[in-house]
Amino acid sequence: MHATIHEMTPAPTSPDVALDVQRIRADFPILRQQVHGKPLAYLDNAATSQKPQPVLDALLRFYTEDCSNIHRGVHQLSERATAAYERSRGKVRRFLNAAEGREIIFVRGTTEGVNLVAYAFGRQRVTAGDEILITAMEHHSNIVPWQILCEEKGARLLVAPINDAGELRLEEFEKLLRPRVKLVSVTHVSNALGTVNPVEEIIRMSHARGIPVLLDGAQAAPHMKVDVRELDCDFYAFSGHKVFGPTGIGALYGKAALLDAMPPFQGGGDMIRSVTFEKTTYNSLPYKFEGGTPHIAGAIGLGAAIDYVMGIGMDRIAAYERSLLEYGTQALENISGVRLIGTAKEKAGVLSFVLEGVHPHDVGTVLDQEGIAVRTGHHCAQPVMERFGIPATTRASLAFYNTHEEVDTLAAGIQKVKELFG
Ligand code: 7TS
């Protein structure tokens, strides 16, 4: 059972090599089922993605063979659990190409990663009159933590606008890089629109004014190669459950110098060096930010998920998904009454749309009867809905295990909605 998931070396990546999707699908047991008597077409990957067998195996193995707390036991099980947990940190480091393992903090997910920065960095660096700059396409988890911080500090939240295609208006963004801006926090890829932001430009412009940048990588990490050193971002947060790993685990990357200078986030066990009632000293990175027993199994499962996607190759995944997105865009554009919301030139696998005269919830309910899983609603991005003057969209979001046939099924499902509500 101690198979060699950790030892697996990523295959050489060449975007030219097509994916063997049927072979990949065989690794995802959940995809084999039928829903309402129809084969499941899982197109809700932006909400959460499915887990390949190696991830399931890693979780089961931890709980059946190695279950123990970490960083404290001298016994075998604790040593094995600690080694596996720390090995996963190394995998996350390689996944993001961070320089050092201590720059990787295990968190619950993107939400906790952003909150950690808002709490630890924000409370130390932001004072009355300062500003935080975000964009109009952020998920609520990259809005609300900054509002809480701003309210507490008497600081101000600035929002860079987007155009009708759902692209950031970069010249307006640049104008908002004012002297009092203490942090720029921007999504790498929008969950509601699919827009891939020009993050290199954003970082270059911000750094030119000495402003650090946090990237919300929740929707980028599952779909493209991320290189935090090449990007030179200061913080990068992502969620394990969207990169085919377990729920309740994710990672925050931060440059060591920044993390080192930040106060802790949560006090408790493991994050201290020594405690007396008079004075407590904190542990070194990354442990200073990992108070309490972490999601050990989750971190190990995330490591297995990273092995899995890197084994396929992020460039191949991106190339395949691009073809699927182009195919899906065509298919939906050919249906009269469908309006795509989010038509940026640079997009990742999201097809968000409204269908004339039919509420998105009705669209989603009919599609569900056809075995098609999509999300309907505001996608935790209410300001995006407001920007486009709509209450909600239906969103199909893709992963590398989706097929062109599933996109056809989606298009046929939408036709059926039209017949029913026509
Ligand atoms: N940022 C973006 C861009 C997201 O898409 C999400 C989750 C988050 C942050 C928060 O991630 P979490 O794992 O901490 O919850 N987005 C979605 C979605 O689009 N549908 O369900 C969750």
Give distance in angstroms: CA of 139 to centre of ligand 1: 7
CB of 380 shorter than 6 A to ligand 1: yes
Instruction: Specify the domain boundaries for CATH 3.90.1150.10 within the chain.
Output: 5-50+314-421
Give CA separation, 245 vs 240, 336, 374, in Å: 5, 38, 20
pLDDT at 17: 54
Q: Which pairing describes strands 393-397 and 375-377: parallel, antiparallel, or unpaired?
A: antiparallel
Q: Are 306 and 245 in contact (CB under 8 A)?
A: yes
**Separation of CA 402 and ligand 1 centre (Å):** 20
| CA dist 64 → 52, 68, 245, 297, 304 (Å) | 19, 10, 18, 11, 16
- Ligand 1: nearest atom to the Cα of 216: 1
The DSSP symbol for 343 reads: -
Fold category of 57-310 in CATH: Aspartate Aminotransferase; domain 2 (3.40.640)
Going by their DSSP bridges, the two strands 156-160 and 181-187 should be labelled as: unpaired
CATH top class, domain 5-50+314-421? alpha beta
Residue type, 84: A
Cα R_g (the chain), whole angstroms: 22
Burial of 146 (0-12, 13-18, 19+ CB in 10 A): buried
Is the separation of the CB atoms in 59 and 297 below 8 Å? yes
Tell me the C-alpha distance between 184 and 176, whole Å: 10
Q: Under a CB-based contact definition with an 8 Å cutoff, are residues 384 and 392 in contact?
A: no
Ligand 1 atom, smallest distance to 239 CA: 13
Residue 117 confidence (pLDDT): 98
Q: How far apart, in Å, are the Cα atoms of 421 and each of 282, 300, 373?
A: 61, 47, 19
Q: Are 185 and 133 in contact (CB under 8 A)?
A: yes
Of 67, 150, 233, 380, catalytic: 380
For the CA of 110, the nearest atom of ligand 1:
14
Tell me the C-alpha distance between 127 and 181, whole Å: 11
Q: How far does Cα 367 stand from its chain's mean position? A: 25
Per-residue pLDDT of the chain (422 residues; tens, 9 = 90+): 343 434 444 444 444 458 999 999 999 999 999 999 999 999 999 999 999 999 999 999 999 999 999 998 799 999 999 999 999 999 999 999 999 999 999 999 999 999 999 999 999 999 999 999 999 999 999 999 999 999 999 999 999 999 999 999 999 999 999 999 999 999 999 999 999 999 999 999 999 999 999 999 999 999 999 999 999 999 999 999 999 999 999 999 999 999 999 999 999 999 999 999 999 999 999 999 999 999 999 999 999 999 999 999 999 999 999 999 999 999 999 999 999 999 999 999 999 999 999 999 999 999 999 999 999 999 999 999 999 999 999 999 999 999 999 999 999 999 999 999 98
> Which of ligand 1's atoms lies nearest the C-alpha of 111?
14
pTM for this prediction = 0.95
The answer to whether the CB of 239 is under 6 A from ligand 1 is: yes
Tokens of 208: 């030119």
Question: Which residues are bridge partners to 160 per DSSP?
Answer: 135
Please say whether the beta carbons of 344 and 167 come within 8 A.
Answer: yes
Tell me, in angstroms, the distance from the centre of ligand 1 to residue 28's CA: 22
Cβ–ligand 1 contact at 109 (below 6 Å): yes
Cα separation, 90 vs 87, in Å, equals 5
Out of 191, 235, 252, mutate this one to test ligand 1's pocket (max ligand atoms within 8 Å of CB): namely: 191
Distance CA 132, CA 217 (A): 18
| Ligand 1 centre distance from Cα of residue 189 (Å) | 11
All residues at 6 or more sequence positions from 155 whose CB lies less than 8 Å from its CB, including other chains: 126, 127, 128, 129, 130, 131, 132, 149, 182
Residue nearest to atom 17 of ligand 1 (CA): 47
Distances (CA, A) of 338 to 42, 362, 393, 396, 417: 20, 14, 11, 13, 11
What distance in angstroms lies between residue 216's CA and the mean position of ligand 1's atoms? 9
pLDDT at 72: 80
Query: Is 141 close to ligand 1, i.e. is its CB under 6 Å away?
Result: yes
**Cis omega (within 30 of 0) on the bond before 286?**
yes
Using alpha carbons, list the distances in angstroms from residue 238 to 70, 179, 214, 216, 391.
Answer: 23, 29, 11, 7, 27
In order of 201, 271, 301, 326, 334, the CA distances from 349 in angstroms are 22, 38, 24, 9, 18
CA-187 nearest atom, ligand 1: 3
Asked if residue 144 has its Cβ within 6 Å of ligand 1, the reply is: no
Distance 18 CA to ligand 1 centre (A): 29
Residues of the chain with CATH 3.40.640.10: 57-310
Q: For residue 174, what are the contacts with CB-CB under 8 A and spacing of at least 6? A: 205
35 phi, psi to nearest 5 deg: -125, 125
The count of residues in the chain is 422
Using alpha carbons, select from 184, 216, 219 the residue that is nearest to residue 201: 184
Annotation says 380 is catalytic: yes
Pairing between strand 250-254 and 38-39? unpaired
